[in-house]
Amino acid sequence: MVIGEAMGARVPVVVSDVCGAAREVSAQAGSVLPLSAPPEQWADAVDRQLMRTTPVPGYERSWMLVAREYEAVYATQGGGGGTERLGPSGSVGRKLP
């Protein structure tokens, strides 16, 4: 959550490739390094982000996208019975067969 908040505030990030948010970090927003990278590589990545002259692009994840991701998780885990879906406006939509 902190990584998403940082990117939302246009703060560059440096994360590991095993971090859940790594797939959200674009090359323009920061760096993704292997968790096993040596400390020097981590320090270099942080230095590059601190020295950058281009602004970090805006980052936004809509509540609808987050809700759909949770919906998919619950559907695969059997949560909530899996009988309702979110409608386009975020309201609970039709019952599924």
Same domain, yes or no: 16 and 46: yes
- Phi, psi angles (nearest 5°) of residue 4: -60, -40
When divided into structural domains, the chain yields a total of: 2
Q: Is residue 68 part of a domain?
A: yes
Does residue 22 lie within any of the structural domains? yes
pLDDT band at 86 (very low <50, low <70, confident <90, very high): low
Name the token pair of 61.
Answer: 């994840």
CA-based nearest residue to 71, from 60, 61, 85: 85
Residues 47 and 10 in one domain: yes
Question: Residue 86: enclosing H or E segment and its boundaries?
Answer: strand 84-86
More confident residue, 79 or 20: 20
Residue 41 token pair: 């590589």
Domain span including residue 88: 63-95
Q: Give Cα separations from 74 to 38, 49, 59, 97 (angstroms).
A: 38, 37, 26, 16
What does the pLDDT look like over 32-80, one tens digit per residue? 999 999 999 999 999 999 999 988 888 766 778 778 888 888 888 765 5
Task: Verify that 43 and 76 share a domain, yes or no.
Answer: no
Look at residue 67 in the predicted model and tell me its pLDDT: 84
Amino acid 84: pLDDT:
58
pTM: 0.61
- Whether 90 is covered by a domain: the verdict is yes
Q: What is the pLDDT of residue 97?
A: 46
Residue 58 is assigned to a structural domain of this protein: no
